[in-house]
């Protein structure tokens, strides 16, 4: 069987996903274009050799509409002959991009492919895509007559079901910031962050190369002062079991970001004189209850472990996206996972969750962590809107 290998994986530093954020003055096409250019330049690769570019983006509207991946690769100077496609599996969009890319290589459809993702939450706010319309239709209304709920309320229900109290959530969240700050201060992120040129609030072009969302001074005590984000009298009456523990401090912040992974066959890497850093070992995707919405990393992980023949103890690191603190804690409880291996460089609570970019961002950090520690196997999983999740196992080479 053909092996699909990762030759390189990069990202830009996060920006706060609001007006005035470090990346808010830069068009999302340019965020992705600069990452794609950097990926090609770092590997001295002729972009004409790329068979396809597969990108993830969730809010495909406005500046992120009309197949932003194709637009970005053209903006990056790729030849007209290179195609691009943009997909939406909600928060796991670019993780799914990496799945499609690697599976295409394994199937023999591609020799070289780039998986990537982008999201500008400062310029295209969350919730923009439906444009005020009902995106579900009458069938969903009939199946779920009480109505589906916001993912923040789903996180509250998960916290209640797994008996995760406020102190536990805030302590975990503060640790995410501590780990991310330590990784940044030690220079770890220097291997994965590519500096890009951005336009600041004064209209000047400046370099951006440090994550804007990491708050090194965060403590559980400081987070304890924040109020709940999603409680209203109406939802409190509907869900009396909820403890209303989810706050801005134990949730991932709105974020701008872009990331990209260079994937090819092992044979093509050897032909080009490029050294593979990791190979794709196993893939899975799963669905779960859309009311709880964020629990699907559990069945997805069971599936990918079964396919891989590995156990949780065989894994050297796990990247479980921190959309909300209950998600990785729920996951760790279900698998009796080693907490020191869980998001060891911090997670989305600190590094941000730029929706369409997060899948390849997590993959980038996972590859670099395995290299830095000498680990062999790493798992990545991501909760996704409407009750889905992807899971990926990679093997460092």
Residue 369 in contact with residue 343, Cβ under 8 Å?
no
Q: Which of 27, 57, 91, 99 is catalytic?
A: 91
Dist. CA 389–CA 90, nearest whole Å: 9
Residue 36 in contact with residue 116, Cβ under 8 Å?
yes
Q: Which of 116, 177, 369, 383 is catalytic?
A: 383
Pairing of strands 112-120, 52-56: parallel
| 57 is a catalytic site residue | no
Dist. CA 260–CA 212, nearest whole Å: 19
Among left, alpha and beta (phi > 0; psi -120 to 50; other), residue 336 is left
HSE at residue 280, side-chain half, CA atoms within 13 A, is 34
Dist. CA 47–CA 100, nearest whole Å: 19
Residue 196 is encoded by which pair of tokens?
A: 């890009």
DSSP letters, 335-384, are HT--GGGBSTT--HHHH-B-GGGHHHHHHHHHHHHHHHHT--EEEEEEEE
| 116 is a catalytic site residue | no
Sign of CA dihedral 80, 83, 88, 93: negative
Q: Which of 177, 208, 353, 369 is catalytic?
A: 353
Residue 148 is encoded by which pair of tokens?
A: 């589906």
Dist. CA 285–CA 300, nearest whole Å: 6
Helix, strand, coil share of the chain (percent; to 5): 40, 20, 40
Residue 217 is encoded by which pair of tokens?
A: 């001074």
Which of 357, 20, 383 is closest to 192 using CA atoms? 357
Which of 397, 323, 391, 319 is closest to 98 using CA atoms? 391
Token look-up 């990491």 returns 214
Angle subtended by helix axes 93-107 and 358-373, to nearest 10: 70
> How far from each other are the two terminal CA atoms of the chain, in whole angstroms?
17
- As annotated, the active-site residues are 91, 353, 383
């Amino acid at each position: 069987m053909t092996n699909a290998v990762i030759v390189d994986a990069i990202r830009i530093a996060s920006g706060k996903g609001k007006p005035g954020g470090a990346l808010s003055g830069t068009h999302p096409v340019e965020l992705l274009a600069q990452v794609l250019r950097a990926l090609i330049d770092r590997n001295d690769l002729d972009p004409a050799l790329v068979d396809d570019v597969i990108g993830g983006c969730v809010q495909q509207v406005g500046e992120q509409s009309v197949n932003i991946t194709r637009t970005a690769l053209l903006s990056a100077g790729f030849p007209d002959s290179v195609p691009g496609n943009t997909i939406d599996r909600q928060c796991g969009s670019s993780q799914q991009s990496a799945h499609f890319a690697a599976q295409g290589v394994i199937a023999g459809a591609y020799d070289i492919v780039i998986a990537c993702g982008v999201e500008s939450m400062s310029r295209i706010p969350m919730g923009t895509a439906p444009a005020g319309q009902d995106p579900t239709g009458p069938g969903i209304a009939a199946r779920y007559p009480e109505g589906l709920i916001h993912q923040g309320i789903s996180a509250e229900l998960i916290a209640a079901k797994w008996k995760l109290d406020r102190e536990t959530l805030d302590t975990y969240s503060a640790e995410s910031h501590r780990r991310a700050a330590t990784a940044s201060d030690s220079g770890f992120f220097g291997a994965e962050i590519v500096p890009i040129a951005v336009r600041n609030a004064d209209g000047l072009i400046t370099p951006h190369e440090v994550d804007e969302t990491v708050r090194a001074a965060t403590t559980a005590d400081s987070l304890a002062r924040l109020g709940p984000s999603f409680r209203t009298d109406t939802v409190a009456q509907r869900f009396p079991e909820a403890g209303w523990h989810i706050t801005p401090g134990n949730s991932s912040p709105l974020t701008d970001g872009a990331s990209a992974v260079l994937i090819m066959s092992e044979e093509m890497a050897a032909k080009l004189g490029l050294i593979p850093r990791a190979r794709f070992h196993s893939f899975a995707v799963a669905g779960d209850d859309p009311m709880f919405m964020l629990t699907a990393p559990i069945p997805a992980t069971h599936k990918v472990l079964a396919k891989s023949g590995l156990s949780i103890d065989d894994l050297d690191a796990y990247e479980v996206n921190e959309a909300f603190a209950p998600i990785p804690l729920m996951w760790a409880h279900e698998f009796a996972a080693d907490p020191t291996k869980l998001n060891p460089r911090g997670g989305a609570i600190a590094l941000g969750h730029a929706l369409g970019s997060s899948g390849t961002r997590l993959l980038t950090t996972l590859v670099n962590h395995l290299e830095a520690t000498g680990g062999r196997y790493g798992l990545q999983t991501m909760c996704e809107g409407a009750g889905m999740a992807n899971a990926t196992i990679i093997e460092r080479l």
